[in-house]
Structure 1
């Protein structure tokens, strides 16, 4: 995936074709980078399992195979100058999109198996266990949100004739795909965009464990973070706050509202979530450091009879 991301980057530089309002190689580049991070993180998580390792090996290989099939189709459609997602223009395009849908379902199921193995694995450090489990469970939810994009939009249903439509499903809510968008991400600036909660949710897989790694690295400089209880509470707060962010961005997108133009209800919800997370962080940091363990030394007995059987 990392190698193909470099190839896609070259495509961005030398191929000036545009598809649905974006450079044609932008989608494969983002998908290759995302799959590289996804695979690397799952590999690290599988290395932590102590139960069902053979099952985890098979599940990991299913993730590899299905992600490769997905990217071969996406890249092939780019070479043809066609959309990969939502494309029902010809029977061949529709068949490719159906295969993509099936591979993503299988990939999601394989990740669910890995999540089940991680839930059963006992890790010595509770903060690490919480970060891994929280990250993979939120990522599963985020991946599942992608299925919402495959459904016909309200406008497509209203138009009817879905059997003969060229496009079925969309990233955007309330506006057509390919309209004004944010730089780099391509997320809509005029309507809702389901790619936002999908992206935010899936990358919990990396961001929550990375947050724990940052806490561990800062522990020698910040005494509070040297306390395992403080790190555990901070990870719990971060996980809950991250889940709240996924819920908030999903709610915002489904209401057809762009990320950069939140309305009053969205701002009110954010105004509840942020102080709640801040309060949780403050409470976690107030935890008193654990006292250092005192090793008791037993003096040798003066009477040898005490050791006589």
Structure 2
């Protein structure tokens, strides 16, 4: 089943990303030390992936197709369009969209975005419930979809941490909340992403967690394609186990990035604690992956000897 509203929305988001990219090149205005069109560009690109993924998942459904179609349509109407419209409108005005409560109008715009984000979480959760209950022949994908949705919802939830007022902030000052921890929004940032290089930045974990929705199903597809060349991946049980390990590692990375940001530490300058935790995470995932791949090979090697 094709989902026309989601497909059209994805096309519109892709066009907006292109428009915003051109805007970055020709519009010299800056907001919080970033090009005024950077935020619309990033959100449009992210929503393009989000809507395409939902359209594909709904297209694969066998049950509750009508319900999923309506949930997808409502997601476009009440989540994607309102949030990106406010972000783009505020960019065109040359003012910040997030955490801006400086005027009654800006406060209203920020509340519209916040309401859309809450609805987006609820609608994604509802879509996830119906998508998880689908019957799937491909077992690795049956793991990838629910785990990707859970981690994606956790990544969305990081956005709520950003709305908490920082020390010294009041509505009278015109700003409530921030992306950064241990520093002010704006200032030195990484190319393209704009993530802070001088303080913790919750946008990193928000971005990484959010896109588990794409990463894990793509991994399941990639493993299925690799199985044509590598016999060790022919077993659906092996590929499923690899997807689960990857999901746990992905969730661990998302949590690590939240922990790093909350300590006021920039992604660009990780401390000893962060590096040690990351090394431990990599080691655990590597050991688990190696065990999953090697154990079936050893069993296969022993089988002829046992039957001889």
1:163-182 map, 5 Å: 163-182=171-190
Task: State the distance in 2 between where 1:130 and 1:137 align.
Answer: 11
1:41–1:205 contact (8 Å) kept in structure 2: yes
Task: State the distance in 2 between where 1:117 and 1:123 align.
Answer: 13
* Residue in 2 that maps onto 1:40: 52
The CA deviation at 1:249 is: 0.4
CA RMSD of aligned residues (A): 1.6
* Residue in 2 that maps onto 1:28: 40
* Residue in 1 that maps onto 2:238: 230
1:192–1:252 contact (8 Å) kept in structure 2: yes
1:1-20 map, 5 Å: 1-20=13-32
1:204-215 map, 5 Å: 204-215=212-223
1:261-300 map, 5 Å: 261-288=269-296
Per-residue deviation, residues 122-144 of structure 1 (Å, max 9, x unmatched): 21121011011111110000011
1:193–1:258 contact (8 Å) kept in structure 2: yes
Task: State the distance in 2 between where 1:89 and 1:288 align.
Answer: 61
* Residue in 2 that maps onto 1:86: 99
The CA deviation at 1:62 is: 1.8
* Residue in 2 that maps onto 1:217: 225
The DSSP-based 3-state class of the residue aligned with 1:187 is coil
* Residue in 1 that maps onto 2:8: none
The CA deviation at 1:155 is: 4.0
The CA deviation at 1:210 is: 1.1
The CA deviation at 1:163 is: 3.2
* Residue in 2 that maps onto 1:143: 156
**In the alignment, structure 1 residue 76 sits paired with structure 2 residue 76:** no
The DSSP-based 3-state class of the residue aligned with 1:288 is helix
| TM-score, normalised via structure 1 length | 0.89
Q: Which runs of 4+ in 1 moved over 6 A?
A: none
Q: 1:111 aligns with which of 101, 114, 124?
A: 124
- Aligned pair count? 287
| TM-score, normalised via structure 2 length | 0.90
Task: State the distance in 1 between where 2:47 and 2:19 align.
Answer: 15
* Residue in 2 that maps onto 1:295: none
Structure 1, gaps ≥5 residues long: 157-161, 293-309
Task: State the distance in 1 between where 2:240 and 2:120 align.
Answer: 30
The CA deviation at 1:284 is: 1.2
Per-residue deviation, residues 104-136 of structure 1 (Å, max 9, x unmatched): 111111000011112222211210110111111
* Residue in 1 that maps onto 2:202: 194
